[in-house]
Amino acid sequence: MTGSTGHISAVLRRLRALRRRYRSEADGATAIEFGIVALPFLGLIFGILELALVFFTGSVLAQAMSDTGRFVRVGSFQGCGTASEFKALVCDKMSNLMNCRANLRIDLSTANGFQTIVLADPGLSGLDPDDEDAEIEDGTYEETGPSEPVVMRGTFYYPLALPNFMTRLESIPGSRRHVISTSTAFRTEPFPTGSSCDPALSAKISEHNGD
């Protein structure tokens, strides 16, 4: 009888050991399942964050262009320079967000009437699929006078952090950049002609140009 009891006890111990082993293997399966779910979940989270940054950058760019355009409208920018200097002021308003100086192009044109204004084509500047770090070319800047129609455009080549298959934000396949563009049109005020650059603006331009 004792031998039978011992045999039964041994069998029960083996069953308990098998159960513990099964639980351990089940825990491993849970970890694997979590890993499978976690990868696309984290990809979704990072994709949402990048998309949010793109929209945020677009909003900041639009506000900076509007604020800086006022300097042209009232004549404060007269004698301050060209597209490069105007870009320095826009980037100052953007707090150099996303390396603004390297990724922003400014175009400003004027003519006898709004219907005849033609902005320069920004082309594929900085979007060479074989060169992700290509510098953005400076745009065109036409000197304005009093009571003249003006159209200006800011084109920001946003550098994407995530591969395109996660966000589908690339403007041109392989470029790893998303183009954000904002435009505004206005008529300058009847300011005095021949005025020099506003000292405060000149100081900001010098600061951003490293002078």
Residue-wise pLDDT for 149-168, tens only, equals 999 999 998 988 888 888 88
pTM: predicted TM-score of the whole model, two decimal places: 0.75
Write out the two tokens for 208: 């951003």
Does any domain span residue 8? no
**149 in the Ramachandran plot: left (φ > 0), alpha (ψ -120 to 50) or beta?**
beta
Write out the two tokens for 69: 């355009």
Does any domain span residue 46? yes
Does any domain span residue 5? no
Total domain count, the chain = 1
Does any domain span residue 148? yes
| First CA to last CA distance, the chain | 101
In the block, residue with structure tokens 């954000």: 180
Full strand arrangement of the beta sheet holding 104-110 = 104-110, 149-159, 177-187
- Angle between the 199-209 and 83-93 helix axes, to the nearest 10 degrees? 90
DSSP code for 141: B
Does any domain span residue 19? no
Give the type of residue at 131. D
Domain that residue 145 falls in: 34-209
Decide if 171 contacts 54 (C-beta within 8 A).
no
Does any domain span residue 106? yes
Does any domain span residue 44? yes
Q: pLDDT digits over 168-179, tens only?
A: 887 777 778 888
Decide if 146 contacts 194 (C-beta within 8 A).
no
* Cα–Cα dist 137/103, whole Å: 9
Does any domain span residue 94? yes
What does each of the 211 residues of the chain score in pLDDT, given as a tens digit? 555 566 667 767 776 776 666 555 555 666 677 777 888 888 889 999 999 999 999 999 999 999 999 999 988 888 888 888 889 899 999 998 888 888 899 999 888 888 888 777 776 554 555 565 666 777 888 888 888 999 999 999 898 888 888 888 877 777 788 889 999 999 999 888 777 777 887 887 777 666 4
Instruction: Please provide the size of the chain in residues.
Output: 211
| Beta-carbon contacts of residue 134 (< 8 Å; ≥ 6 apart) | 126, 127, 128
